[in-house]
Chains A and B, each alone.
Chain A
């Protein structure tokens, strides 16, 4: 059993190593710290949001609102820094509180109204994107000097790669996320819910508070991701990060987390992000391939990993069915 649950993670790792080896074989220059540093910097906002998505998917839910929440955060920061004299750090704190509360509210609606997470977060997606539009429809530049101070923080590797602050924030988020998911009581509750809400409730898992906390984490991390994105682009734009939720879901699935919930690893999501970043890097290195190949390859990978998961669950289920003698098709 342990082996089957670890298999998706091993396949993800294997895919990454093989993909990286193929890239390196064709373009040896990919083996530089610059590429590694850019891989972290360019995917920082996606990675942070994907950690939140991992929690949501582990619990058997889905959160479609994160792309909009990232855009809202960016516009909110840009507008508030343009119109008031508030310090960016205070603005960060404020926006994190807003997005966390927003996520918690969605969690509460999902639990107390017993509605599918999918449709509730869809409403949240409209609401957050709409709020961003209402704040501003233009791209608002952020010119505060504190932003440039943050953007100038980096650690220069010996061969020239610049590991920036936002890449570090992503790594830290992944580490904390992994500890919370795999080493705390809350993390165990999340896994239990993903395994089956009825069982989890009978086991004494507090469903209400766990659901609300999961979506609060997802909302809060989307807010953090929005802060990182505004540092990355130095602007807030209400049309930015459309469809990031799909990228995040893809990263989580490619990272080996079961979409039905209950099995998965935060670390897997990290490698999912790296694989997606690697595809983009390869297309940049190649120069002749068009960027839409990214979407097709990611779609193909997504499909391959879903098939793999399905094969594994099917294999374990047939084992169980044979032992009980029941012919329930499912």
Chain B
């Protein structure tokens, strides 16, 4: 159960430090980085841009954190974004209001999540494979909806979701902060978080203790689909058009990366949505450093890859075990929780 505030702070401290360092780098290459102005009833500044541009990844990683906590993965979120964006755009083009469009997109996203959830929880296909089906077919479905074109629209209500402001703050920021807060609140103030963690640690034993793992698994994938749909609507609203080929392309990887940077184990179990959101901000800040420093954007992917590798080494069960042994050997201090006991030396991603 979540302890007092100090333990939460301790959990997210590494992410905060990394974010601080990256923001400092931003400040070094671009001294005006922290300057925020209020113009035309709206906040402006590089920091606001980081928060705003990071919105799709941040939204995706809320759902992705929950899925990964159950030892799953959702590869289809990028494709679901494209489908949801296409749905919203086509509804608006047909003359429906922005709210109907948003609801329609959310319904479609939920349906995609339900499909993934049923494949994983009922038919018991490995999550990577189950969500791969929609990842492959999803963009085709999105193209079917847009009929192969980039559907453009000019509905003010929908555009405001991507480019508007609420009390001076860009709407995407408001949406992802609100969703993150709501998800954290619901999951930590009820037993839901504990149940999700129990499934991630050992599904069979969680079922034996009476947890209805099937329903919870399905809910988690539906949640991921809903988050992806919201992200898809924001991306479409931002460019006033639904691009079935490029909307959300490779964002599933960014979302997974954000969750991993957030210190959540890919092997399931304990998770923190706040840490994942910080991970999403770290990714966006890294993008911003690369952009502001004038380094060619080609280096973006290489830097991301090196970042993942560094985190993998830190997160590796073997390294964690070594650190644990080292600390135990140096004696004295009581170790509350090792990063991960190296209990299973086997291929860990197999769902058998």
Contacts and interface: CB of A to CB of B under 8 A. Distances in A.
B137 A296 contact: yes
Contacts of B319: 113
A131 B349 CA distance: 27
Nearest to A293: B140
Given A290-B148, A296-B140, A131 B317 contact: no
Interface stretch (A4-12, A85-93, A114-122, A266-274): A114-122
Given A127-B305, A130-B298, A115 B312 contact: yes
B347 interface: yes
Nearest to A198: B346
Given A113-B318, A119-B312, A299-B133, A130 B299 contact: yes
A250 to B, nearest CB: 6
Given A130-B301, A259-B126, A299-B140, A112 B318 contact: yes
Contact of B143 (A112, A123, A292): A292
A61 B350 CA distance: 8
A122 B256 contact: yes
A298 interface: yes
B260 interface: yes
Interface in A253-295: 253, 259-261, 290, 292-295
Interface in A112-161: 112-120, 122-127, 129-131, 133-134, 137
B301 A310 contact: no
A308 B323 CA distance: 45
Interface string B246-259: 00000001001000
Contact of B304 (A62, A118, A126, A253): A126
A296 B125 CA distance: 20
B91 to A, nearest CB: 20
B139 A116 contact: no
B124 A123 contact: no
A310 B125 CA distance: 7
A245 B112 CA distance: 22
Interface in B212-262: 244, 253, 256, 260
A133 B347 contact: no
B129 interface: yes
B48 interface: no
A293 B342 CA distance: 46
B301 A298 contact: no
Given A130-B302, A298-B136, A310 B308 contact: no
A216 interface: no
A177 to B, nearest CB: 22
A30 to B, nearest CB: 23
A225 B298 CA distance: 24
Contact of A295 (B132, B139, B253): B139
B194 interface: no
A329 interface: yes
Nearest to B318: A114
A49 to B, nearest CB: 16
A289 B135 CA distance: 21
Contact of A302 (B133, B304, B313, B348): B133
A146 to B, nearest CB: 29
A292 B147 CA distance: 10
A298 B135 CA distance: 11
A118 B136 contact: no
Interface residue SS majority, chain B: helix
Among A60, A61, A253, A299, max chain B CB count under 10 A is at A299
Among A113, A193, A330, max chain B CB count under 10 A is at A113
A62 B349 CA distance: 10
Contact of B312 (A109, A137, A306): A109
Contact of B129 (A193, A295, A296, A306): A306
Interface in B319-352: 319, 342, 345-352
B280 interface: no
B267 interface: yes
A291 to B, nearest CB: 9
B133 A303 contact: yes
A253 B135 CA distance: 15
A249 interface: yes
B46 interface: no
A246 interface: yes
Interface in A161-203: 193, 196-198
A328 interface: yes
A114 B308 contact: no
Given A60-B350, A115-B312, A330 B204 contact: yes
A127 B301 contact: yes
A126 B308 contact: yes
B346 A302 contact: no
Interface in B93-141: 123-126, 128-130, 132-141
A47 to B, nearest CB: 18
Interface in A285-330: 290, 292-296, 298-300, 302-303, 306-307, 310, 328-330
A250 B136 contact: yes
A298 B134 CA distance: 11
Contact of B139 (A60, A196, A292): A292
The 10 closest A-B pairs by CB, nearest first: A299-B137, A130-B301, A295-B140, A130-B302, A116-B349, A126-B305, A127-B305, A133-B298, A292-B143, A296-B140
30 contacts: A109-B309, A109-B312, A112-B318, A113-B319, A114-B316, A114-B348, A115-B315, A116-B267, A116-B349, A119-B266, A123-B305, A129-B301, A130-B304, A133-B298, A137-B298, A196-B352, A253-B129, A259-B126, A260-B350, A290-B148, A292-B139, A292-B148, A292-B244, A295-B143, A296-B144, A298-B136, A302-B136, A306-B133, A307-B123, A328-B204
Interface of B: 73, 123-126, 128-130, 132-141, 143-144, 148, 204, 207, 244, 253, 256, 260, 266-267, 296, 298-306, 308-309, 312-313, 315-319, 342, 345-352
